[in-house]
């Protein structure tokens, strides 16, 4: 399998208004979002965004309403034109593509899954799934064969001839996911894709996505306002506020070392046992001669279950070869799970 291509966003600005280009300098000089709006009637959507989105991984962009996250994702396939900056896919700058190049990029390199499903109500599940391939000119028989695989993979086998209004919300979103996967695009853009779903269905769809990603290794950009969802899905997370990146890193890095009070407030209620890895807490200066073992790379919550099941107070952390690389004790495990970090 060829290595997936990542996305580099460099010095990206979006200012809504008639003279956005002229306003960029004012923003660079330090004018605030509110002042820009009050004095010049321009809205600062994105402020100097720099994010390296890794190829073959899930990059989560999160923030509250109005933070700029949906504006950002729409720059990747240029549904919104930037005021300044670059969006690089490999060596290609999406911001500089001609209309013909952009059309090909959208058709073959990107697929999008929307919050409100965006299914065509007059088309069946199968016809919705093959819509992108029809636009590409793929023969119907081939398109349906490709779509059938993904319809089955997302759990909708047998529903190929149903219409959207015959499906639940969770099933409709599975159709949206099958449609995106049928296109076999390198980049999957998911804008609040699961936010309209009930909590249990939402968890189920997260599991479906993680299972598929384990096989496919797509470059996925996932937008959410939910921190638990971000921490569960994201290989990398970027948190936006007022159009600017406040902090980015792994879920562990953000939970353990919040950049400021805003992030600290965000993460204070997080179940840390489902975020922090045993490797972060273990004592690497020693190993045990006997006792239970816990695999490197697992979460503290799973380690706590091992301690509860064995009744032991310590365990060796072992690498993929079974070699001990450190010791984890129950006290440090519990302390790390319940003690919030401060910025």
pLDDT tens digits for 228-280?
999 999 999 999 999 999 999 999 999 999 999 989 988 888 889 989 999 99
Tell how strand 293-295 and strand 244-249 pair up: unpaired
Q: Are residues 191 and 314 in the same domain?
A: no
Count of the separate structural domains present in the chain:
2
Q: Are residues 106 and 145 in the same domain?
A: yes
Q: Is the pLDDT of residue 341 over 60?
A: yes
Which among 65, 17, 73 is positioned nearest to 43, based on CA atoms?
A: 17
Q: Is the pLDDT of residue 1 over 70?
A: no
3-state SS, the chain, equals CCCCCCEEEEEEEEEECCCHHHHHHHHHCCCCHHHHHHHHCCEEEEEEEEEEECCCCEEEEECCCCCCHHHHHHHHCCCCCCCEEEEEECCEEHHHCCHHHHHHHHHHCEEEEECCCCCCCCCCHHHHHCHHHHHHCCCHHHHHHHHHHHHHHCCCCCCCCCCHHHCCHHHHHHHHHHHHHHCCCCEEEEECCCCCCCHHHHHHHHHHHHHHHHHHCCEEEEEECCHHHHHHHCCEEEEEECCEEEEEECHHHHHHCCCCHHHHHHHCCCCHHHCCEHHHHCECCCCCCCCCEEECCCEHHHHHHHHHHHCCCEEEEECCCCCEEEEEEHHHHHHHHHCCCCC
In a domain, residue 214? The reply is yes
Report residue 278 as tokens.
């045993």
Q: Are residues 197 and 106 in the same domain?
A: yes
Considering 232, 256, 271, which residue would you say is the last residue of a domain? 271
In a domain, residue 43? The reply is no
Average pLDDT, integer, range 137-141:
91
Q: Is the pLDDT of residue 153 over 70?
A: yes
In a domain, residue 28? The reply is no
pLDDT band at 129 (very low <50, low <70, confident <90, very high): very high
pLDDT in tens, 285-312: 999 998 899 999 999 999 999 999 999 9
Q: Could you tell me if 55 and 218 are in contact, meaning their C-beta atoms sit under 8 angstroms apart?
A: no
In a domain, residue 282? The reply is yes
Least-confidence region, from 43-47, 72-76, 201-205, 314-318: 201-205
Strands ordered across the beta sheet of 7-16: 43-53, 7-16, 84-89, 92-93
Other Cβ atoms closer than 10 A to 176: 24
Q: Are residues 253 and 281 in the same domain?
A: no
Range of the domain at 320: 273-338
pTM higher than the cut 0.95:
no
Average pLDDT, integer, range 35-62:
95
In a domain, residue 90? The reply is no
Considering 221, 239, 271, which residue would you say is the last residue of a domain? 271
In a domain, residue 227? The reply is yes
Q: Are residues 167 and 299 in the same domain?
A: no
Which among 126, 162, 172 is positioned nearest to 147, based on CA atoms?
A: 126
3-state SS, 25-64, equals HHHHCCCCHHHHHHHHCCEEEEEEEEEEECCCCEEEEECC
Q: What is the CATH number of the domain that holds 136?
A: 3.40.50.300
Average pLDDT, the chain: 92
Average pLDDT, integer, range 314-321:
94
Q: Could you tell me if 240 and 67 are in contact, meaning their C-beta atoms sit under 8 angstroms apart?
A: yes
Q: Are residues 256 and 305 in the same domain?
A: no
Q: What b-and-e string marks burial along 90-125, b requiring 16 or more CB atoms within 10 Å of the CB?
A: eeeebbebeeeeeeebbbebbbbbbbebebeeeebb
């Amino acid at each position: 399998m060829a290595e997936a291509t990542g996305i580099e966003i460099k010095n990206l600005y979006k200012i809504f208004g008639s003279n956005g280009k002229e306003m960029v300098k004012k923003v660079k000089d330090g004018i605030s979002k509110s002042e820009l709006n009050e004095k010049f009637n321009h809205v600062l959507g994105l402020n100097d965004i720099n994010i390296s989105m890794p190829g073959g991984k899930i990059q989560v962009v999160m923030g509250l309403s109005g933070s700029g996250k949906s504006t950002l994702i729409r720059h990747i396939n240029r549904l919104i034109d930037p005021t300044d900056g670059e969006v690089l896919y490999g060596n290609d700058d999406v911001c500089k593509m001609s209309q013909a190049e952009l059309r090909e990029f959208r058709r073959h390199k990107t697929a999008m899954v929307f919050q409100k499903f965006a299914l065509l109500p007059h088309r069946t599940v199968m016809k919705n799934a093959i819509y992108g391939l029809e636009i590409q000119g793929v023969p119907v028989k081939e398109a349906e064969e490709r779509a059938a695989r993904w319809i089955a993979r997302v759990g909708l086998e047998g529903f190929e001839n149903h219409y959207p209004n015959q499906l639940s919300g969770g099933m409709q979103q599975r159709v949206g996911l099958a449609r995106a996967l049928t296109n076999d695009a390198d980049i999957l853009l998911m804008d609040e894709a699961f936010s309209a779903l009930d909590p249990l269905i939402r968890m189920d769809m997260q599991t479906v996505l993680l299972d598929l990603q384990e096989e496919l290794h797509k470059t996925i950009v996932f937008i959410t306002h939910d921190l638990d969802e971000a921490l569960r899905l994201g290989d990398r997370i970027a948190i936006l506020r007022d159009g600017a990146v406040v902090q980015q890193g792994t879920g562990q890095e953000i939970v353990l070392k919040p950049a400021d009070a805003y992030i600290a407030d965000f993460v204070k209620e997080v179940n840390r046992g489902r975020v922090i890895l045993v490797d972060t807490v273990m004592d690497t200066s020693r190993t045990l001669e006997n006792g239970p073992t816990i695999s490197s790379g697992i979460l503290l919550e799973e380690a706590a279950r091992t301690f509860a099941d064995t009744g032991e107070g310590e365990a060796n952390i072992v690498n993929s070869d079974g070699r001990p690389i450190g010791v984890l004790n129950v006290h440090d495990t519990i302390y790390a799970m319940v003690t919030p970090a401060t910025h």
